[in-house]
Structure 1
Amino acid sequence: MTEANTPAYGQQVKEAAEYIKSRLGGYTPSIGLILGSGLGDLGDQIEEAVYLPYEEIPHFPRSTVEGHAGRFVIGKLEGKDVIIMQGRFHYYEGYAMRKVVLPVYVLAKLGVGTLVITNAGGGMNRGFKAGDLMLITDHLNMTGDNPLIGPNDPELGVRFPDMSRAYDPEYIALAKKLASEVKGADGETLVLQEGVYAGISGPTYETPAELKMLAYLGGDAVGMSTVPEVIVASHSKLRVLGITCITDMAIGDELEPLTHEQVVKVANQTKPKFIGLVRAFVREVQV
């Protein structure tokens, strides 16, 4: 399809949502989940699952990142209808920001009202350690872009959306309450951290000077996703719970070389606690 023949953005959202609706198999998901690097196994626990690869959906890009399955999983989790993104799209993959966030608009169009967004990130708070889970209380948009730049479609949201409650305080309180129920593979109770997520464009990991700057600005963790999706979630009036899996410590003065394989490895080790927390949240949240 040539650029001249490409449907307007709002029409792309509608066409993608209509296609997914035709494949829902009777499910009416009100809860959506976006699973980050190394955290996609939760999608394999969905009951009576329907699988929908991204490449089959009109106007969707393809996920190119290792550790991202690149599909929707639709079905039952803790007795509720859910739709899960096993893998997401990133600005650093070369996609325009509006293409990165297209799935969030589509989820809203499908009737999703609650969105759980997860990611793997580096810990800049010296009180954290690799393997911790951090509830995101706020973010810093350091990507250099914003998905709402350009003409606003009033069917998608208002021109100037409020971001004061981008990460829902009631959802944060519920997750903290449920943490005592969650056990890891080692039998230890989950200890949740809280903090500000600094979103950068990537794909390079940060320099020591950049990490010092982000920490000075108030960042507790840093990663290459989530912020654009949360902006669009606010634009779409979705309620968001954000969770970062701290896969490495990103302290500017103590920085050591890092690979994506290391990130995925730590995320895999943290999965029992992560999955336990998300399942408990889905079970208890009122939608």
Structure 2
Amino acid sequence: MNAAIAACESTLKATFGDAPRVAVVLGSGWAAASERLTDVQRISYADLPGWPLPKVEGHVNELVVGTTAGGARVAMLRGRAHTYESGDCTGMAAPIRSLKAWGVKSVVLTNASGSLRAANPPGSLVLISDHLNAPQRSPLVGLSGSDRFCDMSAAYDPELRAVAKALAAEKGQPLNEGVYCWALGPQFETPAEIRMFAAWGADAVGMSTVPDTILARHAGLRVACLALITNMAAGLSDEALTHALTLKEAKASGENAADFLSAYLDRLAVLPSLQ
């Protein structure tokens, strides 16, 4: 463990005590989940060595620890680094490695995505089952020895996905599984690119998540991912794609997404394999 991660671990323990078993990275549209927590404690990313300070609208750059309505103690990261901000895909390395060092067992990644399938219209939730790394960039580049290699054959944990699917069935919440395609951005994709991604098997597209997943799996964390669909991808509707559109639809659908996420975290908190 390097000095920065050790310092973060020490600060997290001093601030919050023992780590919760599950942490969440909140993407655009998911902030309402953190606003529902009680007994909340906070720390700014600026107080944690190596943690990023993203400047994307909708990201607050703080770690909060609190309790869900169902009694689950969780950590939530309100902000993530995107590769398009700097060209560096290692921006979430310190947060994710700090969570692991602190004692977190699993991370739930969330994002706002464009849909490539009519079955997943704006406002719907998609449970990510796999991903496509379209830029073919890795946050593990530069590591040495056998430690650099990481198995990604089950990147999105089958048991954690099964819990989400069972919960959705009980709640009557539509939740299709799908493959997420990471596009570097910050420009939105062209219609030709979307046709290519669809031919590859993608169901959703966005500008985050994949580097986070690689880092989390490399650290030994179990990963689940929920995507909030905010728009149909380029060429699949007449609507011009803008970040403002993404935030508008995310806000409109965010309460339902937060409801499901909160209930999901309650289920994960009592999952025997995460104890």
Structure 2 residue aligned with 1:185: none
Structure 2 gaps of 5+ residues are: none
**In structure 2, how many angstroms separate the alpha carbons of the residues matched to 1:225 and 1:179?**
24
What are the within-5 Å matches in structure 2 for residues 1-287 of structure 1? 10-24=2-16, 26-77=17-68, 78-94=70-86, 96-152=88-144, 158-182=147-171, 189-252=172-235, 254=237, 256-285=239-268, 286=271, 287=274
Q: Deviations over 1:10-39 (max 9, x none)?
A: 332222222222211x34311100010121
Q: Deviations over 1:159-200 (max 9, x none)?
A: 311111110111111111111344xxxxxx421111000011
Q: Which amino acid aligns with 1:35?
A: L
Question: Which runs of 4 or more aligned residues in structure 1 lie more than 4 Å from their structure 2 counterparts after TM superposition?
Answer: none
**How many residues in Structure 1 have an aligned counterpart in Structure 2?**
269
Q: Which range moves more in the overlay, 97-106 or 111-120? A: 97-106
Give the TM-score of the pair, scaled to structure 2: 0.92
C-alpha displacement of 1:143: 3.0
Give the TM-score of the pair, scaled to structure 1: 0.88
- Name the SS for the 1:194 alignment partner: strand
**In structure 1, how many angstroms separate the alpha carbons of the residues matched to 2:19 and 2:220?**
18
**In structure 2, how many angstroms separate the alpha carbons of the residues matched to 1:201 and 1:251?**
15
Preserved contact between residue 27 and residue 81 of structure 1 (Cα < 8 Å) = no
Preserved contact between residue 42 and residue 64 of structure 2 (Cα < 8 Å) = yes
Preserved contact between residue 234 and residue 241 of structure 2 (Cα < 8 Å) = no
- Name the SS for the 1:64 alignment partner: coil
Preserved contact between residue 82 and residue 91 of structure 2 (Cα < 8 Å) = no
Q: Deviations over 1:135-168 (max 9, x none)?
A: 00000011341000112488xxx33111111101
**In structure 2, how many angstroms separate the alpha carbons of the residues matched to 1:32 and 1:231?**
16
**In structure 1, how many angstroms separate the alpha carbons of the residues matched to 2:250 and 2:105?**
27
Q: Percent identity?
A: 38
Structure 1 gaps of 5+ residues are: 1-8, 183-188
Q: Deviations over 1:225-250 (max 9, x none)?
A: 00001011111121111000010001
Preserved contact between residue 61 and residue 78 of structure 2 (Cα < 8 Å) = yes
Preserved contact between residue 208 and residue 255 of structure 1 (Cα < 8 Å) = no
When the two chains are superposed, the root-mean-square deviation of aligned CA atoms in Å is 1.8
